[in-house]
Chain A
Amino acid sequence: METSTMPRAADARRLNTRSPRPRITGSLRWQRLARFVTPYVFVLPFLALFAAFFLLPFAYTLWLSLFAEHRSGLGLGPPQVVWAGAANYVKALHDPTFWDSIKRVLIFGAVQIPVEMLMALVLAFLMDSALIRLRRFFRLAFFVPYAVPGVVATIMWGFFYSPGFSPIVHSIVALHLPAPDFLGPNTVLWSIANISTWEFTGYNMVIFFSALQALPQEIFEAGRIDGLSEVGIAWRLKLPLIRPALLLGILFALIGTLQLFNEPKILTSVSHAITTTYTPNLLAYNIAFVQTNYYYGGAIAIILGAITFIFSFAFTRFTRQQSGGL
Chain B
Amino acid sequence: MRHWHKRVFFSLALLLGLTMILSACGGSSSTQSSGPVQLTFWGFNQQIAEQADAFNKTHPNIHVTGLKQPSGPDQYYPKVLTAVKAGNAPDVALIEYQYIPTMVANNALVDLTKYGASDVKSQFDSSAWSQVVEGGAVYGYPQDTGPMGLFYNSATFKKAGIDHPPATWDEFAQDAVKIHALGPNYYIVSFPPKSTGWIQALMWQAGAIWFSVDTQANAWKVSINSDAAKKVASYWQGLLDKGLVATLDDFSNDWNAGLDKGTIASWPSAVWGQGVVKGNAADAAGKWSVAPMPQWQAGSKQVGMWGGSAISVIGGTKHPKEAEEFVRWYLTNDASLQIGVKEIGWFPSNLNARKYPEVNSPDAYFSNQIVDATFTDITTDPNWTWPPDLTAVNQMMGNDFAAAVANKTPLSGALDQLQQQVVQDLKSQNINVVSS
Query: CA separation between A276 and B129, bound complex, in Å?
Result: 34
Structural contact, B402 and A292, CB atoms closer than 8 A: no
User: Which B1-55 residues have C-beta < 8 A from chain A?
Assistant: 1, 4, 7-8, 11, 14-15, 18, 22
In the bound complex, residues from chain B placing their C-beta under 8 Å from that of A17 are 1
Q: A275-B399, A292-B106 are in contact. Are A75 and B247 (CB under 8 A)?
A: no
Query: CA separation between A252 and B193, bound complex, in Å?
Result: 36
Query: CA separation between A308 and B85, bound complex, in Å?
Result: 29
Main secondary structure of the interface of A (DSSP, over half): loop
Between-chain CB contacts (< 8 Å), 17 pairs: A30-B4, A70-B430, A71-B430, A74-B213, A75-B220, A76-B101, A78-B107, A79-B105, A162-B253, A184-B406, A270-B253, A273-B406, A276-B399, A290-B391, A291-B395, A292-B391, A293-B392
In the bound complex, residues from chain B placing their C-beta under 8 Å from that of A31 are 4
Q: A77-B105, A272-B247 are in contact. Are A71 and B429 (CB under 8 A)?
A: yes
In the bound complex, residues from chain B placing their C-beta under 8 Å from that of A276 are 395, 398-399
* CB of A34 closer than 8 Å to a CB of B: yes
A18 to chain B, nearest CB (A): 9
Q: A77-B105, A78-B107, A79-B105 are in contact. Are A69 and B15 (CB under 8 A)?
A: no
Count residues of A near B (Cβ-Cβ below 8 Å): 47
Query: CA separation between A74 and B219, bound complex, in Å?
Result: 6
Other-chain contact of B391, A42, A79, A272, A291 (Cβ < 8 Å): A291
Structural contact, A74 and B82, CB atoms closer than 8 A: no
Residue of B nearest to A270 (CB): B252
Per-residue CB contact flags for chain A residues 118-130 toward chain B (1 = under 8 Å, else 0) read 0000000000000
In the bound complex, residues from chain B placing their C-beta under 8 Å from that of A290 are 74, 78, 391-392, 395
B360 to chain A, nearest CB (A): 37
Structural contact, B7 and A34, CB atoms closer than 8 A: yes
* CB of A209 closer than 8 Å to a CB of B: no
* CB of A137 closer than 8 Å to a CB of B: no
Query: CA separation between A246 and B403, bound complex, in Å?
Result: 38
In the bound complex, residues from chain B placing their C-beta under 8 Å from that of A269 are 249, 252
- Known pairs A270-B249, A270-B254, A292-B78 / 20 extra A-B pairs, C-beta < 8 Å: A30-B8, A34-B11, A38-B11, A41-B11, A41-B15, A45-B18, A48-B18, A72-B430, A74-B431, A74-B432, A75-B105, A76-B388, A78-B105, A272-B405, A275-B403, A276-B395, A289-B78, A290-B74, A290-B391, A293-B392
User: Which A265-318 residues have C-beta < 8 A from chain B?
Assistant: 269-273, 275-277, 286, 289-294
Per-residue CB contact flags for chain B residues 363-395 toward chain A (1 = under 8 Å, else 0) read 000000000000000000000000011011001
Q: A41-B11, A76-B388, A164-B253 are in contact. Are A275 and B402 (CB under 8 A)?
A: yes
Structural contact, B4 and A34, CB atoms closer than 8 A: yes
Query: CA separation between A294 and B78, bound complex, in Å?
Result: 11
Per-residue CB contact flags for chain A residues 139-154 toward chain B (1 = under 8 Å, else 0) read 0000000000000000
* CB of A163 closer than 8 Å to a CB of B: yes
Structural contact, B134 and A76, CB atoms closer than 8 A: yes
Residue of B nearest to A37 (CB): B11
Structural contact, A164 and B257, CB atoms closer than 8 A: yes
* CB of A165 closer than 8 Å to a CB of B: yes
Query: CA separation between A135 and B252, bound complex, in Å?
Result: 42
Residues of B within 8 A of A (CB): 1, 4, 7-8, 11, 14-15, 18, 22, 74, 78, 81-82, 85, 101, 104-107, 134-135, 193-194, 213, 218-220, 247-249, 252-254, 257-258, 388-389, 391-392, 395, 398-399, 402-403, 405-407, 426, 429-432
Structural contact, B194 and A272, CB atoms closer than 8 A: yes
Residue of A nearest to B72 (CB): A269
User: Which A158-184 residues have C-beta < 8 A from chain B?
Assistant: 159, 162-165, 184
A139 to chain B, nearest CB (A): 35
Structural contact, A272 and B7, CB atoms closer than 8 A: no
Structural contact, A272 and B395, CB atoms closer than 8 A: no
Structural contact, A185 and B406, CB atoms closer than 8 A: yes
Query: CA separation between A79 and B106, bound complex, in Å?
Result: 7
Structural contact, B253 and A165, CB atoms closer than 8 A: yes
Residue of A nearest to B12 (CB): A41
Query: CA separation between A30 and B14, bound complex, in Å?
Result: 18
* CB of A73 closer than 8 Å to a CB of B: yes
* CB of A219 closer than 8 Å to a CB of B: no
In the bound complex, residues from chain B placing their C-beta under 8 Å from that of A165 are 253-254, 257
Residue of B nearest to A28 (CB): B4
In the bound complex, residues from chain A placing their C-beta under 8 Å from that of B194 are 272
Query: CA separation between A292 and B393, bound complex, in Å?
Result: 12
Residue of B nearest to A179 (CB): B184
Structural contact, B7 and A38, CB atoms closer than 8 A: yes
In the bound complex, residues from chain B placing their C-beta under 8 Å from that of A75 are 105, 220, 388-389, 426, 429-432
Query: CA separation between A289 and B218, bound complex, in Å?
Result: 29
In the bound complex, residues from chain B placing their C-beta under 8 Å from that of A163 are 254
Q: Which 7 A-B pairs have the closest CB atoms?
A: A75-B431, A164-B254, A272-B402, A78-B107, A41-B11, A272-B406, A275-B399
Other-chain contact of A294, B85, B219, B406, B432 (Cβ < 8 Å): B85
Structural contact, B388 and A74, CB atoms closer than 8 A: yes
Structural contact, B218 and A69, CB atoms closer than 8 A: no
Query: CA separation between A221 and B55, bound complex, in Å?
Result: 80
Query: CA separation between A75 and B423, bound complex, in Å?
Result: 13
A85 to chain B, nearest CB (A): 15
A179 to chain B, nearest CB (A): 10
Residue of B nearest to A24 (CB): B1
Q: A38-B7, A45-B18, A74-B432 are in contact. Are A162 and B405 (CB under 8 A)?
A: no
Q: A75-B105, A270-B254 are in contact. Are A277 and B399 (CB under 8 A)?
A: yes
Q: A78-B107, A184-B406, A291-B392 are in contact. Are A73 and B18 (CB under 8 A)?
A: no
In the bound complex, residues from chain B placing their C-beta under 8 Å from that of A286 are 395
In the bound complex, residues from chain A placing their C-beta under 8 Å from that of B253 are 159, 162, 164-165, 270
Residue of B nearest to A268 (CB): B194
B181 to chain A, nearest CB (A): 20
Query: CA separation between A69 and B107, bound complex, in Å?
Result: 13
Query: CA separation between A276 and B392, bound complex, in Å?
Result: 11
In the bound complex, residues from chain A placing their C-beta under 8 Å from that of B15 are 41, 44
Q: A79-B105, A272-B402, A277-B399 are in contact. Are A70 and B11 (CB under 8 A)?
A: no
Query: CA separation between A73 and B429, bound complex, in Å?
Result: 10
Structural contact, B1 and A272, CB atoms closer than 8 A: no
In the bound complex, residues from chain A placing their C-beta under 8 Å from that of B429 are 69-71, 75, 79
* CB of A16 closer than 8 Å to a CB of B: no
In the bound complex, residues from chain A placing their C-beta under 8 Å from that of B134 are 76
Residue of B nearest to A14 (CB): B1
Structural contact, A74 and B220, CB atoms closer than 8 A: yes
B186 to chain A, nearest CB (A): 13
* CB of A213 closer than 8 Å to a CB of B: no
User: Which A1-48 residues have C-beta < 8 A from chain B?
Assistant: 17, 27, 30-31, 34-35, 37-38, 41-42, 44-45, 48
